[in-house]
Amino acid sequence: MTARAGEAGTGGVLRIELRRSGAYLLGGLLAVLGAVLVVTSQAPLDPYGLWSSSWAAAMRVLSETSIVLGPLAAAGAAWTAGREGRRHLGELLATTPRPVLARQQTTWAAIALGVVAGTLGVAGVLVAGIAPGLSYSGGRWPLALLLAVLGVLACSAVGFAAGRLIRGRLVAPGVGVLLYVLNGYLGYLTGPSARLSPLALVSQLPSQEGYELDGWSAAGAAIWLLAVTATAVLLAGSRRLAALVPALLAAVSAAALVTTPATGDSPLWLQPDEQALEQVCTDDAPQVCVQRVHAGLLQDVTPPARELLARVQDFLPVDRIAEVPYGQQAPPGTLAMADLQGRSRFLRPGMDHPGQVVDDTVSRLTSYMCEGPELDAAGQQPYLTLDVAHALLTGELLLSSADPTAVEALITRLEEDPAAARAWMARFLPAAADCDVATLVDLARP
Amino acid sequence: MTRTTPAPDSRGGRGLWLYLRARHVGWVAMALLLLTAASWWATGWLSTRTYFGGAWARPPVVGLSPLLAAVLVSATLVGADTDLDRTAPRITAQWRAVHATTAALIPTVLLALVATDTPQTFGSYALMRNSLGLTGIVLLTATIIPTVLAWAPALTYVLVAYLAAPRTPTAAAQWWAWPIQPGGPDPSWIVATSLLAAGLAAYTRYGPARTTS
């Protein structure tokens, strides 16, 4: 018996701990639940679910999913760590020559392996989801993956320490809910206090298409998460003094994270990924261009985009159509196409409703974000012109038209006289963009 | 032969007192009161956030408060030793039925007081429904897995459903994400009450599962 125990060594003890700590179960549970979260965010379970076949989008989903994975890992780790207390083994184990830290480290290592495997399992589902439509592999997505894994790991370490240090049946669910609330609270902060959001253990630096993680912010977050993990594990191993070192490191990295100065319009931790935003265009004319990160959708979006371009050319001096991020101006001669983010298909290449891009592009052209007493006094007239413009640009009448009869009458008149239609559109577009209510009311006359 | 004096433990409410103490009912009652107060504060705080729409900002409370109440209730479902409990002639199905029904009703009534304004929009109705349904899950699982772990399925389900539920309500989600529905008369109530009925019946009939952890 002694010889067998001796032969087991560290690897053997770890294998036993993997079975007895519930690490297999915890890892499997995290992987399955994460996969469920990914699948339920897609049609048909969520008809309004959006999917982008890009690394940035996949890592964002993983980051959001870890909002649940982290607390569950914490609850599972707390339950395992509390087993000695539940069985009243403290005094018995205190008589053994093995240090507390060594014993707890082995259990923690088993839990950590389960947690990392489970999180990587979810990442695997996401990779399978984006692979068929993936067109760009740049950006610092491995950093985002690393932070997601470290975040769930840190949660499990905090849960492990809580389960080891606090007695009680409800410590495990308590620490799970507490972390869920705390992470959610930090994520929802706005204004100056939003600077604290990177201190959440999970989903603290969400990715975004067209951007990549700032290297320093990611490094700071990784150090913060590792320091929290080390502090928790040392505390669980009854090494309070030694835990001060990583605790100090955690405090320093936290201070650095929350005092990082903002740069530009993007969040503190993101910077534009120029390569992802490069234009990829059709070889033949009229040219249709999309961002490199959406190049997988170019084939699907080209026919409706060209159809729209042909109609718009009757009114505007444009000879190409290109994807332009919302809020940015298109270059001269280019029609700005709506953003293609969130229009890919899960597990399949291409997109489901290319025509929707046309509607969104026209909506951008005719967008009318105005308010004020002048608009209130004008009644439905300004909105009538939006319907007319939409019909002229797409050939389709909106079902929600305020006054279909008046709209149809105006459309018929303008279609019979192309020169008048061009003049009407030339006045409409700047008036809609500038909230020129008087001009819009004038344009609504039959 | 002289008649023996009854043991003090068997007199009047002494047995009930010991039963409640062995199941930490006093601590759980205090925790439920604290939870009610914290939930009341949280609904007010969330409703005043500028980036949410008033009462529509309350789903975190509607999801998590009944969950915590059900987790607390799970601590009362079993004493220190299930096997020992089973040897006592007093632990009957009637005791368990009264215990389970009370455990379902008290948190439900307390949480119903938390958000009485616009109760149909993630307010009192949803809190009551979720308290009943989640207590049902806890009661049901307490008869299947070790009772000290009865909180685990409810915790896992609520955390996952909260994140997975579509932000725009769908007919299917009223069944599978029932705790994250606003609270109006929809199928979410059928699921919640069915779970409560199943939990009450199972716990009354079988009692807590034997504790192995």
Question: pLDDT tens digit string along A244-291?
Answer: 999 999 999 999 888 876 555 556 778 888 899 999 999 998 999 999
Rounded CA gap, B57 and B47, in Å?
A: 6
Residue B7 has a pLDDT of 45
- What share of residues in chain A are helix, strand, coil (percent, to 5)? 65, 5, 30
Residue B213 has a pLDDT of 46
The pLDDT-based confidence of A208 (bands split at 50, 70, 90) is: confident
pLDDT at A6 > cutoff 60: no
Chain B interface with A: residues with Cβ < 8 Å: 49-51, 60, 64, 67-68, 71-72, 74-75, 148-149, 151-152, 155-156, 159-160, 162-164, 166-168, 170, 172-173, 213
Rounded CA gap, A121 and A136, in Å?
A: 22
pLDDT of A78-113, one tens digit each?
999 998 888 788 778 878 887 878 888 899 999 999
The pLDDT-based confidence of A141 (bands split at 50, 70, 90) is: very high
Kindly provide the ipTM of the predicted complex, given to two decimals: 0.85
The dihedral built from the CA positions of residue B158, B159, B161 and B162, taken in this order, carries a sign that is positive
Counting residues of chain A whose pLDDT is more than 70, the rounded percentage is 93
Six token digits for residue A248: 């100090």
Q: What is the mean pLDDT of residues A4-31?
A: 82
Q: Helix or strand or coil: residue A288?
A: strand
Contact flag A169-B148 (C-beta cutoff 8 Å): yes
Chain B residues within 8 A of A184 when measuring between CB atoms: 60
Residue in the block written with tokens 């299930």: B82
pLDDT of A53-64, one tens digit each?
999 999 999 999
Residue B91 has a pLDDT of 63
Neighbours of A331 (CB within 10 A): 9
Residues A158 and A171: beta-carbon distance below 8 Å: no
Rounded CA gap, B22 and B99, in Å?
A: 13
Residue A145 has a pLDDT of 95
Rounded CA gap, A203 and B134, in Å?
A: 27
In terms of average pLDDT, the best of A63-72, A427-436, B159-168 is A63-72
Nearest-10 crossing angle of helices A141-165, A100-130 = 140
pLDDT of A340-390, one tens digit each?
988 898 989 989 888 888 888 888 887 767 777 776 776 777 788 888 888
Contact flag A48-B166 (C-beta cutoff 8 Å): yes
Contact flag A176-B75 (C-beta cutoff 8 Å): no
User: For each of chain B's 213 residues, which pLDDT tens digit applies?
Assistant: 444 444 444 555 777 888 888 888 999 999 999 999 999 999 988 888 766 677 788 889 999 999 999 999 999 998 777 777 777 666 678 889 999 999 999 999 999 999 888 898 899 999 999 999 999 999 999 999 988 899 999 999 999 999 888 877 788 889 999 999 999 899 999 999 999 999 999 999 998 887 654
In this structure, what is the dihedral angle of CA atoms A421, A422, A427, A433, given to the nearest 10 degrees? 100
Residue A320 has a pLDDT of 93
pLDDT of A142-164, one tens digit each?
999 999 999 999 999 999 999 99
Chain A residues within 8 A of B134 when measuring between CB atoms: none
pLDDT at A127 > cutoff 90: yes
Neighbours of A15 (CB within 10 A): 13
